Amino acid sequence: MTLKRLFIQNLRNLNSVDINPSDRVNLIFGENGSGKTSVLEAINVLALGRSFRSHKHKPLIHHDQLEFTVFGKVKADDGADVPIGINRQRDGSASYKANGNLVPSAADLAVYLPIQVISADTFLLLEGAPKVRRQFMDWLVFHVEPKFFPLWKDCQRCLKHRNSLLRRDRMPSNNGGRSLELASWDQELAFLTEQIDILRARCVEQFKVSFYDLLKEFISLDGISIDYYCGWNSDKLFAEILHAGLERDIQLGYTQIGGHRADLRITVNGQDAAEILSRGQQKLLVCALKIAQGFVFSQMTGRKTIYLVDDLPSELDEKNRTLLAKWLDSMETQVFITGVEQDSLLSIWQNIPNVVTKLFHVEQGSVKEIVKTFVE
Ligand SMILES: Nc1ncnc2c1ncn2[C@@H]1O[C@H](COP(=O)(O)OP(=O)(O)OP(=O)(O)O)[C@@H](O)[C@H]1O
Ligand SMILES: [Mg+2]
């Protein structure tokens, strides 16, 4: 799966960009504020309907414009070209197109363009709230388990209904009466949660194998462990715990436990990795998590994920930059990497033979290919 053509109109300072990326390494350089991260954001928007920098769409629309458009031609795994596109308006409306047809949501585009982002924010994977790691885990589950997304959507709906019933039952006017409705939502919630748990647990097991292999091969960090937490005490059935916690849930007005509390616990000798590892070690560990994710995705689906790496040189020292470049190279996938200095970006790839590289210069919102490929 590669992005063969990328067209961007009125996204941040990018008024009109039309490029044909390499199906391997794309190096994007330019001064601060020129628009490099915006190019990666545009690819992210095309893949997921939103940016990796902000969940709001308005900051993405060029100040002077009412809408932005991103269009891409994706080479599917069967070799067919699939056009996909997204348009977002200032009033909030959005349209998504795949293969010439309107599709209902960004999730319908996500299947065409699996991407992984490595940026400064990616380090929140270790430091951030469980939600960040849950999203990381669910990316893999979404892409390898077709049953996951409909179950997840139903589960979200169910949880919302349950929470509003909990709040209703808390009202004095209800005389403490427990609604029968709640019992039926509980049953459905328990069923969906247990199904989601099975899919997540299965993916995380696969993921752990690849991740530990990758660590052994490249990093000398002992005692690192990844453990899946399903969101409740897993010795008991979820339905039982949900029932036992009902009074407390009513008092609180929301459901305390469940798959919406799932997490990936990343520790070093039993302690939180974010509290133990140095900044550089954390960065490398996060890169290893991202690479392992793409690797497992490829093993389980036979497809490849695209990597967007924002401002690589500033995030890692030289040794680790080269290590990441080797990891990315071993994935044989399409990558987009930004950096301020042309030479420092190029030097990272110089030790890796036979890499087809395209170089793009970004200047005040316009992107030009520099015809200077280096193939050893
Ligand atoms: N909605 C918008 N409309 C127009 N310009 C915008 C909008 N949002 C951001 N910008 C500008 O777009 C430019 C590109 O930002 P971007 O973050 O892509 O730069 P960059 O090349 O990644 O810079 P850096 O090297 O500092 O990371 C910036 O000058 C920014 O101020
Ligand atoms: Mg940037």
Query: Per residue of the chain (376 residues), what is the pLDDT tens digit?
Result: 899 999 999 999 999 999 999 999 999 999 999 999 999 999 999 999 999 998 899 999 999 999 999 999 999 878 899 999 999 999 999 999 999 999 999 888 888 899 999 998 888 899 999 999 999 999 999 989 999 999 999 999 999 999 999 888 666 555 555 567 788 899 999 999 999 999 999 999 999 998 998 888 766 778 899 999 999 987 888 999 999 999 899 899 999 999 999 999 999 999 999 999 888 888 889 999 999 999 999 998 999 999 999 987 676 788 888 888 988 998 899 999 999 999 888 888 877 877 778 999 999 999 999 986 554 4
Atom of ligand 1 nearest to the CA of 62: 3
CA dihedral 265, 269, 271, 277 (to 10 degrees): -90
**Would you say the CB of residue 51 lies under 6 angstroms from ligand 1?**
no
- The reply to whether 311 and 296 lie within a common domain is no
pTM for the structure as a whole:
0.89
**Would you say the CB of residue 59 lies under 6 angstroms from ligand 1?**
yes
- The reply to whether 213 and 127 lie within a common domain is yes
Cα distances (angstroms) measured from residue 60 to each of 6, 38, 98: 17, 9, 21
Owning domain of residue 355:
1-114+304-376
**Atom 29, ligand 1: residue with shortest CA distance:** 33
**Atom 17, ligand 1: residue with shortest CA distance:** 37
Could you tell me the two tokens for 179?
A: 């609604």
- The reply to whether 151 and 228 lie within a common domain is yes
**Atom 12, ligand 1: residue with shortest CA distance:** 13
Domain's final residue, options 302, 324, 347: 302
- Distance from C-alpha of 14 to C-alpha of 11, rounded to nearest angstrom: 5
- The reply to whether 246 and 331 lie within a common domain is no
- The reply to whether 14 and 73 lie within a common domain is yes
Pair type for strands 335-339 and 25-29: parallel
Q: Phi-psi region for residue 19, left (φ > 0), alpha (ψ -120 to 50) or beta?
A: beta
Among all chains, which residue has been given the structure tokens 């970004």?
362
Domain's final residue, options 302, 329, 349: 302
**Atom 7, ligand 1: residue with shortest CA distance:** 12
**Would you say the CB of residue 313 lies under 6 angstroms from ligand 1?**
no
Nearest ligand, CA 35: 1
Residues with CB under 5 A from ligand 2 (ion): 37
- Distance from C-alpha of 234 to C-alpha of 265, rounded to nearest angstrom: 15
